[in-house]
A and B are shown apart, each in its own frame.
Chain A
Amino acid sequence: MDFNQIQELIRLVTKNKLSTFYLQEGDFKIIIRNQATHLPEGTPPPVLYAPAPPAAQPPTPTPPPASAPSAPPPDVQPAVQPVKPEVSNLITIKSPMVGTFYRSASPDKPPYVKIGDDVEVGDTVCIIEAMKLFNEIESEVKGQIVKVLVEDSSPVEYDQPLFLVEPA
């Protein structure tokens, strides 16, 4: 299988809105997963490339199947983890001040929030300390913490992104 044939395969998988395409031929294996069928309208499908077939392999004009392959082997792993496209509705909690960022009230206490936690407006999400004064930073949104962008005990500046929140 050469590069042009792989490109052709990808085109056909996308055109026919297939969710998975699997082909194995000797040592050569290709898996194409199309997330377009699961994603909101308008999101371009990520395209995946598997390692090129060995050069010695003679091109085999195998036509792609029109429907999903029968019984892909259960232990097949995608060559590359599909990248979930940027969902732009995430809200960033930014630092309102300069100081040192702490995830918990003190080293022996658990963090105020972790990934997956739900927060309400007014919930404390972290502490920022400056000049020996500890300031509790409150969330201005209601939602779920998706990402923590700053490491514990690191310096932060004004407007620096601290957390990503998926709004409820």
Chain B
Amino acid sequence: MFKKILIANRGEIALRIIRTCKEMGIQTVAIYSTADRDSLHVRFADEAVCIGPPPSAESYLNIPRIMAAVEITNADAIHPGYGFLAENAKFAEVCREYGIKFIGPTPEQIRSMGDKMTAKETMIAAGVPCIPGSEALLQDTREALLMAAEVGYPIILKATAGGGGKGMRIVWKEEELEGQWETARREAKAAFGNDGIYMEKFIEEPRHIEIQVAGDQFGKACHLSERDCSIQRRHQKLVEESPSPFMTPELREKMGEAAVKACTAIGYEGVGTVEFLVDKHRNFYFMEMNTRIQVEHTVTEEVIDFDLIKEQIKIAAGVPISGKNYFPELHAIECRINAEDPFNDFRPCPGHITSFHSPKGHGVRVDTHAFAGYTIPQYYDSMIAKLIVRARTRDEAIRKMERALDEFIVEGVKTTIPFHQRLMRNEDFRAGNFHTGFLNTWDFRNATL
């Protein structure tokens, strides 16, 4: 087992990792930029090293600085958290070269799932259902037009190097295709340095349902059931829950099996998530695989009573998994609380938190690095807390979330709490009647509390 882990991240996830390390008796090293000097992860770690000024490129994304910190502290493993360098194959490679264990998959696995086109090819070969579309990058508009006719409109053009909801264009009619094709290529080149485009059938009113998976160093893989992350704004998840209100035991079995197949196809090591789109007929299609721990891993932890970070560390240390699958025993919902003004187009509001009272009580979990007196720096993302509730039924979980949100006091900065309060009271949400386009049609500002 590792003696000392350096956490190459910040904020709530760094704290999360430190907590599990402490429970496992592993020493922790925090790294931080000068903007995070007073951050909780710095205070709770056994050691802390300041690695640079606030901009991420000179701190949390800076591989040489991070490796220098590993060197002077003699850490034997690095946990990359999520975001930043978590899915950076180059970073995983550097760690391997230096003999430091990167807690996550191999650089090759990261690469194969990081490139959307390659991932799709791998999945098709493994027998995982994929969205009908091109099986390779499109060469020109002629090919695009032929393919679109075959697949049927509407179609979506996607950048192979894209991700996180970026680099996508929907085409509803044949007349629009050529123009959208040109725009998509230009945008992809500018955003990702790679203008490779592929095409998929655009699934209307899809639900985003993902399966948590885990694979060990010996080729075994398992799944820990689903999370429904359909409530999204501009492709950013706001609410996640498990089990999905749309799930059936048969669908779960099929999707779980497909997700495990995805892992064994590449010999996946670590914990990860296979994301699917599910249409109204309960057909499911592979979308992408996230080769890291995710923000919403907490939802699975609450319904299965499992420490996913601990599992990651054990897998990285060479402990085999049992291979058994896990099924939700309770119902959990997570609301991401961001320092954004929901009444002003969710504009980010970094600043000084003057009061902070997080909800507590039976079935309430808050993962946060914020506290009264904390100043949210403007250099990083706006998420300040994850509020997770769990209960025996979905109705009880929603009731609990309402209670918890009403108790959550944050002063000094605006937060998205008012948005979540109204969402929990929405008829369609309560009925489990929603898909990824939900927030395009519902403006929470019209709702009353």
Which A residues contact B (CB, under 8 angstroms)? 97-100, 130-131, 155-160
Contact = CB atoms under 8 A, between A and B. Distances in A.
B50 A160 contact: yes
A97 B65 contact: yes
A100 B71 CA distance: 9
B49 A98 contact: yes
B432 interface: no
Given A130-B64, A130-B67, A155 B72 contact: yes
B50 A159 contact: yes
Rank and list the top 6 A-B pairs by shortest CB-CB distance, nearest first: A130-B68, A155-B72, A98-B68, A157-B50, A158-B50, A157-B49
Contacts of A157: 49-51, 69
Interface in B27-50: 34, 49-50
Given A131-B68, A158-B34, 16 more contacts: A99-B68, A99-B71, A100-B72, A130-B67, A130-B68, A130-B71, A130-B72, A131-B71, A155-B73, A156-B72, A157-B50, A157-B69, A158-B49, A158-B50, A158-B52, A159-B50
Contacts of B53: 158
Contact of B51 (A98, A131, A155): A98
Nearest to A95: B50
A33 B49 CA distance: 44
Contacts of B50: 98, 157-160
A156 B50 CA distance: 9
Nearest to B66: A98
Q: Which of A130, A155, A157 has the most CB of B within 10 A?
A: A157
29 contacts: A97-B65, A97-B68, A98-B49, A98-B50, A98-B65, A98-B68, A98-B69, A98-B72, A99-B68, A99-B71, A100-B71, A100-B72, A130-B64, A131-B64, A131-B68, A131-B71, A155-B49, A155-B72, A155-B73, A156-B72, A157-B50, A158-B34, A158-B50, A158-B51, A158-B52, A158-B65, A159-B34, A159-B50, A160-B50
A137 to B, nearest CB: 14
Interface of B: 34, 49-53, 64-65, 67-69, 71-73, 98
Contacts of A156: 72
Nearest to A99: B68
Q: Which of B53, B67, B68, B98 has the most CB of A within 10 A?
A: B68
A131 B69 CA distance: 10
Nearest to B94: A131
A99 B72 CA distance: 6
Contacts of B73: 155
A156 B52 CA distance: 12
A157 B71 CA distance: 12
Contacts of A158: 34, 49-53, 65
Nearest to B73: A155
Contacts of A159: 34, 50
Contacts of B67: 130-131
A155 B75 CA distance: 14
Contacts of A100: 71-72
Contacts of B68: 97-99, 130-131
Contacts of B52: 98, 158
Nearest to B67: A131
Contacts of B49: 98, 155, 157-158
Contacts of A97: 65, 68
B121 to A, nearest CB: 36
